Amino acid sequence: MSSNEENGKSEKRLMSIGEVSKAIGITRRIILNYEAKGLLLPDKKEGTAGNRYYTPDSISLIRSIRVLQNLGLSLDEISSYYNGSTDLEPLIERLEALRDDLTQSIEKLKQRTASPAASVIQFLTLPAQTVYSRKGAFNGVEERKEFLREVFMEAIHLYGSDSSKRMFFIEYNLEHPEEFTCCISVPPASKGEHVVHLPEQKALGIFYHGCYESLPDARRELSAYAAAQNLSLSGTVRHTYLEGPPQHKDPANFITQVALVLQ
């Protein structure tokens, strides 16, 4: 094969910086910034300030850098990752936290678009988590809401929040719904008064769309289903608030996950 033929094949395997930016959906400036950060070198460059060309390998690298950047990693972190000069555990933890946030957001969006009548009873796994918990005893919904807000502020001031878990929920016994425990998610390493480490638990649950005053209807529906299926219940009920007064003025738009913990 002649050198001209070889050069022709090589040229076909190259894309200009403009072609690459269009194919991947990023700007030329972003690619040049990758070069300035030492993450990338053009495979061919025409003159000192001339156009740049990239092979498939380099294009794949550009795309990988962009994916990691979109996941929240800085270019310095990406450089350290590729150079093998960083501890990967913190990066893994950050990506896992992002994954959990995305999962929760997707779940809420699915519930927002679903018809209330389409909510179905399902088996759940309630994750292990660390919570700041305080007990209360109120029959009225407004009193419960105010107590939950009070406990939430206490927890945030003392420990911060674990964003990888649902922010807050309440638990109570089937026989005594007026006596409940407010639980606020706090970082796993938290230790102190009122901090409790909850184990992973299996449960029966449903996503309820509507005002808080009607939540007992969902609880009764779950209890009836459990009885019909001969399921053994622990007696603990959990209300996890996905969307409520902070997001909506109309109670018909509230979304609450009601769960009965199984034995």
Counting every residue written for the chain, the total comes to 263
Query: Treating both helix axes as pointing N-terminal to C-terminal, what angle do 88-113 and 75-83 enclose, rounded to 10 degrees?
Result: 130
The CATH 3.20.80.10 portion of the chain extends over 115-262
Q: From the CA atom positions of the chain, what is the Rg in Å?
A: 27
Measured torsion, CA atoms of residues 149, 151, 154, 160, in degrees rounded to the nearest 10: -80
What global pTM score does this model have? Answer: 0.64
* 180 three-class SS: strand
Q: What is the pLDDT of residue 128?
A: 95
* 259 three-class SS: strand
The CATH 1.10.1660.10 portion of the chain extends over 3-83
- 238 DSSP β-pair partners: 171, 259
Q: What is the pLDDT of residue 83?
A: 78
Q: What is the pLDDT of residue 70?
A: 86
Pairing of strands 233-243, 129-137: unpaired
| Fold observed for domain 3-83 | Multidrug-efflux Transporter Regulator; Chain: A; Domain 2 (1.10.1660)
Rounded to whole angstroms, the Cα distance separating 124 from 154 reads 29
Q: What is the pLDDT of residue 9?
A: 47
| Fold observed for domain 115-262 | Multidrug-efflux Transporter 1 Regulator Bmrr; Chain A (3.20.80)
Judge contact between 86 and 44, C-beta under 8 A. Answer: no
Rounded to whole angstroms, the Cα distance separating 215 from 235 reads 16
Q: pLDDT tens per residue, the chain (263 residues)?
A: 544 444 544 556 788 999 999 888 899 999 999 999 999 999 998 876 678 999 988 988 898 899 888 888 889 988 888 877 777 787 777 777 777 777 777 776 676 666 665 568 999 999 999 999 999 998 888 898 899 989 999 999 999 988 778 888 999 999 999 999 999 999 999 999 999 999 999 999 999 999 999 999 999 999 999 999 999 999 999 999 988 887 778 888 888 999 999 99
* 233 three-class SS: strand
The tokens for 76 are: 């310095």
Residue among 4, 50, 59, 68 nearest 31 (CA):
59
